[in-house]
Structure 1
Amino acid sequence: MSIEYKINHPITADQFISLLADSTLGERRPIQDRDCMMGMISNSNLTVSAWDSEKLVGISRCMTDFHYACYLSDLAVSEKYQKLGIGKRLQILTQDQLGPRCKLILIAAPAANSYYEQIGFSNNPRCWVLERDASIHS
């Protein structure tokens, strides 16, 4: 199996949804909301993707200024392709696109904490999240 990595290669909403459904990230993303998923992939300004032929098997999806901060919104690898080094390679290739002072920042699911530590991330307890109350904004 030969995995090909691509920078900012076009990805359809269906490919993105399929990958997330095939990974553990699908449980925590609104994969039933196609418009939201299309917006997530089309408005990212840095994607690094992993392909097995024509099949999307991994993604690093980011929002960044390329100089100071890069928010890694999704790092997903299809379960069938996990433990092959694809996630670590996606992270390295993402960093290669960034300036030398740019930090890679993410919010990890509790089950993924040990993975991120294993590939070189350090834990920072200063993250805050403000959820929107959908009933107020409807």
Structure 2
Amino acid sequence: MAIRYSVGLSLESTQFIDLLKRSTLAERRPVDDEARIREMLSNADVLVTAHWVEDSAVAHSEAPGKLVGVSRAITDHAYCTYLSDLAVDTDHQGQGIGRELIRRTHQVAGLRTRLILLSAPAAESYYPHVGMQPHDSCWMIPPSDEG
């Protein structure tokens, strides 16, 4: 088996929702609002995907295979990149997929940009492992539909 990475591959909202559920990000994403998920996908500046494929499919450039990872980011390509979603199927975690999605996202957005993300509490220990530094002064205004 191999992982095939793609940049800018079009994703259906149902594919993304399915992966969010398999990655535990569904707990913090509007997976019950497919229209909003479609907007999230269509308005992203950078979308990097990881598909699990049979070795023979890699050699023959067949269909992409099972979606096992997505990185979705918004960037100005000059100063900052917000990595909004980093989702890896729980069955495929621990194989370097997240690290590679981050690397490719930053590369596409521009290595001069500051890559920024908000971590889920359960993932806080992961990000230093892949070379990210903590920042203690993040501020936000929650969306109006969160009360």
TM over 0.5: yes
Output the CA distance in 1 between the equivalents of 2:104 and 2:110. Answer: 12
TM-score by length of 1: 0.93
Counterpart CA distance in 1 for 2:108 and 2:87 is 18
SS state of the match for residue 99, structure 2?
Answer: helix
Deviations 1:21-73 (A, max 9, x none): 10111111111111111111111110111012322110110000111100000
Extract unaligned runs of 5+ from structure 2: 54-64
1:70-122 CA-partner distances (Å, limit 9, x unpaired): 00000000011111110001011112113332110000011111000110111
Structural RMSD (CA): 1.5
Which is helix-richer, 1 or 2?
2
Q: Does 1:28 align with 2:39?
A: no
TM-score normalised by the chain length of structure 2: 0.87
Matches within 5 A, 1:15-94: 15-53=15-53, 54-94=65-105
Moved over 6 A (4+): none
**What secondary structure, in the 3-state scheme, does the structure 2 residue paired with 1:76 have?**
strand
Which residue does 2:61 correspond to in 1?
Answer: none
Which residue of structure 2 aligns with residue 122 of structure 1? Answer: 133
In the aligned structure 1, how far is the partner of 2:31 from the partner of 2:23?
12
My pick for the range that moved more, 106-115 or 93-102, is 93-102
Q: Is 1:98 the equivalent of 2:109? A: yes
Instruction: Find the aligned partners of 2:146 and 2:127 in 1 and give their Cα distance.
Output: 34
Q: Which amino acid aligns with 1:91?
A: I
Give the number of equivalent residue pairs: 136
Taking only the aligned residue pairs, the percentage that are identical comes to 43
Structure 1 equivalent of residue 58 of structure 2 = none
